[in-house]
Amino acid sequence: MMSKKTQQRKLAGTKKKFPDYHQWNSAGVGTGATDTKKKKISNGTNPETTTSGGCHSPEDKQQNRAQLKEENKASHQHQQALTRQLEAQDHTIGILMCQKTELETALHYSQDTARKFEEDSKDLAGRLHHSWHFAGELQRALSAMSAEHERADRYIEELTKEREAMSLELFRNIITNEELKEKNAELQEKLRLVETEKSEIQLHIKEIKRKLETDKIPLPQVQTNTLQEKMWRQEEELRDQEKLQKHEEKMWRQEQRLRDQEQQMREQEQQMREQEQQMRKQEEQMRKQEEQMRKQEEQMRKQEEQMRKQEEQMLKQEEQMRKQEEQMGKQGSRWGSRRSRCGSRRTGEQMGEQEEQMRKQEEQMGEQEEQMRKQEEQMRKQEEQMGEQEEQMRKQVERLQFKEERLWDEYEKMQEEEEKIRGQVEKRREKKERMGEQEEKMQEERCSEPCLPPSKYPSDMSHPGSLEPAREAGKGYSHDNRTAQQIMQLPPGMKNAQERPGLGSTSCIPFFYGGDKKKIKIINI
């Protein structure tokens, strides 16, 4: 039933589409009807003939039958031709409907692909804008890094100049230290000579004391004066030697400090050299990174050019797709069944090729996106490394500045110590000059002072007027001189002077008083 209904609908549609069939059918049917009517009328109009004869003649019946058969055959053949035409038209209509559906699906797919390409193009445009922005940031970072490199180079040049100046100062300090060492060696030799002289004088004094104790012989006043002066000189020399020893100890300590400072300076120089090597290595690394960044920028530019070319190709392909859609619409309206079939096949093939091209392009775009992402990650990692290296450089610069400040402080301390040492050396020279002047004055005073006439020394030393002046003079003298006490003990040994007439009968009493510059002068009474 459904098949009959569909056939009837198709026939109705075909009848509407083909008016010639209606005209032809109406014309054929009309002629047949008129003939039959005419025959009926003719048969009916001549009742006389029919009635006259009573029935038709056999010839007329045969003719009518033959005509009816021929008409039936013709109508049957015409109906078969019409059914064939209708079947062919139904087949063509089905083919056209299939082509229409295929074209609609192809148009829908092409529209979807065009939308996807538009979205991809927008995404790519956004990514290109982001890449341009990122490239600008990278260029700014590179310019900042180049400026920092220039600053670092300038700072390194300043450090090299300062290091050269410090090396010159160190060389000068080493020379001054060597000179001071030579002076210290000379002073040590002089001290050794003075110590030997001191030991000899002490031995000589001990021998004299022994002789005095054993013999108890009164010596002349000149010998006592000379011995006393020698003792005072020796005591002063001993004091000066003690001062020199203390000063030498200070000098040794200062030399040790200078040596330690020299060692520290050498260690600092070694550290500075190591830091310079590290800075050079870092500079080489920075240069390599800059070269890598330049290469990456060139790659980014090439990729951007490729992306532009791909965008142009995409735009061209979109235009081609639009043109093809327009052509397909025109072809669907103009072409016939056969041409439409050939065109549909060709367009189907073209659409397949275009789909393959689009897929390939999508794959290429995906690969390029992955490459861009990888490059962005690499650039981020490089930026992080550059930031870490900048922090390390800043820390190293701060350390170098701190070390430079320490070196300057140590250098100032070294200069102060050198000035102190020079002042001490000058003081030593002045002391030596004063000692020489004092010796010259002492010699002049010895020559200029007249000796009083000798008087008889009383037998007992318990006389109050004999020792009180000496005690008062001893009280006036600030230093506790053992030599003065020893000389004060000499007069009691002169009791037996008259018992030994061969050694002389004159006796002398030494009288002490405090003079200038804490010296003790002796006047024979």
What DSSP assignment string belongs to 235-300?
HHHHHHHHHHHHHHHHHHHHHHHHHHHHHHHHHHHHHHHHHHHHHHHHHHHHHHHHHHHHHHHHHH
Instruction: Give residue 483's pLDDT band: very low, low, confident or very high (50, 70, 90).
Output: very low
Do strands 520-524 and 510-514 pair parallel, antiparallel, or not at all (unpaired)?
antiparallel
Q: Please give, one letter per residue, the 3-state secondary structure of 72-136.
A: HHHHHHHHHHHHHHHHHHHHHHHHHHHHHHHHHHHHHHHHHHHHHHHHHHHHHHHHHHHHHHHHH
Choose between 142 and 439: higher pLDDT: 142
pLDDT digits (tens, 9 = 90+) for 222-231: 456 666 777 7
Q: Give percent above pLDDT 70 in the chain.
A: 64
Token couple for 401: 């500045």
Token couple for 279: 């800075």
Q: What's residue 246's pLDDT?
A: 78
Task: Judge whether residue 482 has pLDDT over 50.
Answer: no
pLDDT digits (tens, 9 = 90+) for 124-182: 888 888 878 887 888 788 888 778 878 878 888 888 888 788 778 888 878 877 888 78
Q: What's residue 35's pLDDT?
A: 47
Task: Judge whether residue 456 has pLDDT over 70.
Answer: no
Q: What is the pTM of this model?
A: 0.30
Q: What's residue 214's pLDDT?
A: 73
pLDDT digits (tens, 9 = 90+) for 201-243: 888 888 877 877 776 544 455 456 666 777 777 777 777 777 7
Task: Judge whether residue 111 has pLDDT over 70.
Answer: yes
Task: Judge whether residue 200 has pLDDT over 80.
Answer: yes
Taking the C-alpha atoms of residue 180 and residue 186, their distance in angstroms, rounded to an integer, is 10
Whole-number average pLDDT of the chain: 68
Taking the C-alpha atoms of residue 423 and residue 418, their distance in angstroms, rounded to an integer, is 8
507 secondary structure, DSSP code: B
Decide: 293 and 142 in contact? Cβ < 8 Å.
yes
Q: Which of 296, 191, 197 is nearest to 252 (CA)?
A: 191
- Mean per-residue pLDDT for 74-91? 90
Token couple for 87: 């079947």
- Mean per-residue pLDDT for 10-33? 50
Q: What are the CA-CA distances from residue 442 to residues 192, 194, 447 (Å)? A: 25, 20, 9
Q: What's residue 471's pLDDT?
A: 41
Task: Judge whether residue 277 has pLDDT over 70.
Answer: yes
Q: What are the CA-CA distances from residue 441 to residues 61, 149, 262, 420, 448 (Å)? A: 200, 73, 45, 31, 10
Q: What's residue 55's pLDDT?
A: 55
Taking the C-alpha atoms of residue 473 and residue 467, their distance in angstroms, rounded to an integer, is 10
The end-to-end CA distance of the chain, in Å, is 181
- Mean per-residue pLDDT for 61-81? 89
Q: What's residue 334's pLDDT?
A: 62
Which of 16-20, 142-146, 354-358, 459-463 is predicted least confidently? 459-463
Cα-trace Rg, the chain: 70
Q: Which of 196, 23, 195, 7 is nearest to 89 (CA)?
A: 7
Decide: 200 and 236 in contact? Cβ < 8 Å.
no
Q: Which residues lie across from 160 on neighbouring strands?
A: none
Decide: 110 and 355 in contact? Cβ < 8 Å.
no
Q: Which residues lie across from 522 on neighbouring strands?
A: 512
450 secondary structure, DSSP code: P
